[in-house]
Structure 1
Amino acid sequence: MFAAEPRGRRIARLLLMAFYGLAGVAHLVFTDAMVRIVPAWVPEPRAVVITTGLCELVGVIGLTLPRWRRTAGWAFAAYAVCVFPANIVHAMHDLGSGTGLPLWYHAPRLLLQPAIVWWALWATGALKRPPAAR
């Protein structure tokens, strides 16, 4: 029913699972810290942080199921786009107040966001080939 998964894609998917699995757990364990970086226009930030953590963990389960893998990939790609404003707010807060994480943490995080979107799509088979191979 499902084609064999190439080794590179499987490794990328397993790394994606680890990435989002850790992020999901972090949202549930470090909820208060995560709430502080939610943009002010987001209602019920604590509930949003907890819900997103649970969604990340459900998505990780989806990545283990071939039938749901591509759907989970699209969901994680959309999620990466949606959390980008929170990443910007987090960077502005840390860099503006002179406390927290430095530029060497925030700059790569912000610049790599498109790569995270591509990673979620490619590792799950939602995209068939890397852009350079087309």
Structure 2
Amino acid sequence: MSLPTGAKVVTGAFLVSGTVHLVKPEVFEPLMPRQLPAHREIIVASGVAELLCAAGLLNRRTRKVAGYASAALLAGVFPGNVQMAVDALRGDNTPLKAASVARLPLQWPMIRAALKAARTA
């Protein structure tokens, strides 16, 4: 079975985001809760996880595990996305405010798409 359309979106998003995590990890540092140690290491590890999930979704033999892992990863980073939106709303950058708030409800269809990919593998 081919990769469902929603899973293609998740794969593309993970490829882009995972690459940014590795190339410009400082972009994600403001999202990190102060109480967590090793911010840079966590950011790099999450980028690697996104790239592994993307690769896993592309391969039919690994799609089931990658779909469930992708859903878990998306759920795990949701608090960081909420923090990004809260921080953006405190600032003056209107496009950032709009983008960071608009992306929050997009997490849920992406989680559903990842789960669908896992179930249809």
Question: Where on the TM-score scale, by shorter chain, does this alignment land: which range?
Answer: 0.7 to 0.9
**Paired residues, number:** 121
Does the 8 Å contact 2:66/2:118 carry over to 1? Answer: no
**CA-to-aligned-CA distance 1:30-69 (integer Å, 9 cap, x gap):** 2011112112222211100000001111112211222210
- 1:91 — aligned with what? 85
How does 1:47-126 map onto structure 2 within 5 Å? 47-99=41-93, 101-122=95-116, 124-126=117-119
Give me the CA root mean square deviation.
2.1
User: Which structure's residues are more often helix, by fraction?
Assistant: 2
Instruction: Return 5+ residue gaps in structure 2 as ranges.
Output: none
Shift of 1:6: 5.2
TM-score normalised by structure 2 residue count: 0.86
Asked which structure has the greater CA Rg, the reply is 1
Does the 8 Å contact 2:25/2:40 carry over to 1? Answer: yes
TM-score normalised by structure 1 residue count: 0.79
**How many percent of aligned residue pairs carry the same amino acid?**
26
Choose between structure 1 and 2 for higher RCO, CA contacts under 8 A separated by at least 6 residues.
2
Instruction: Return 5+ residue gaps in structure 1 as ranges.
Output: 129-134
